[in-house]
Structure 1
Amino acid sequence: MDIFEKIAEDKIREAMEKGEFDNLSGKGKPLELEDLSRVPEELRAGYKILKNAGILPEELELKKEIISLQDLINCCYEEEEKQLLTQKLSEKILRFNILMEKRRVKNAALRYYKNRIYQKLGY
Structure 2
Amino acid sequence: MSMFSRLAEQKIEEAIRNGELDDLPLAGKKLSIDDLSHIPEDMRMSYHIMKNAGYVPEEVTLRKECVQLHDLLSAARNDGEHEEIRRKLSEKQLRLQMLLEQRGLSGSSVFTQYETKVRERLTPDE
Q: TM-score range by the shorter chain?
A: 0.5 to 0.7
Q: What is the CA–CA distance in structure 1 between the aligned matches of 2:87 and 2:58, rounded to whole Å?
A: 20
Does the CA contact (< 8 Å) of 2:66 and 2:93 recur in 1? yes
Structure 1 segment 1-123 matched on structure 2, within 5 A: 22-24=24-26, 27-28=27-28, 29=30, 32=33, 34-35=35-36, 38-39=39-40, 41=42, 43-101=43-101, 102-104=104-106
Give 5+ residue unaligned stretches, structure 2. 1-19, 110-126
TM-score by length of 2: 0.51
Q: What is the CA–CA distance in structure 1 between the aligned matches of 2:38 and 2:69, rounded to whole Å?
A: 29
1:78 is displaced (CA, Å) by 2.0
- SS of match in other structure, 1:23: coil
Q: Highest Rg: 1 or 2?
A: 1
Which is further off, 48-57 or 72-81? Answer: 48-57
Does the CA contact (< 8 Å) of 1:66 and 1:93 recur in 2? yes
TM-score by length of 1: 0.52
Does the CA contact (< 8 Å) of 2:36 and 2:44 recur in 1? no
**Larger helix proportion, structure 1 or 2?**
1
- SS of match in other structure, 1:56: coil
Q: Relative contact order, CA 8 A, sep 6+: which one is greater?
A: 2
Alpha-carbon RMSD: 3.0
Does the CA contact (< 8 Å) of 1:47 and 1:57 recur in 2? no
Give 5+ residue unaligned stretches, structure 1. 1-16, 109-123
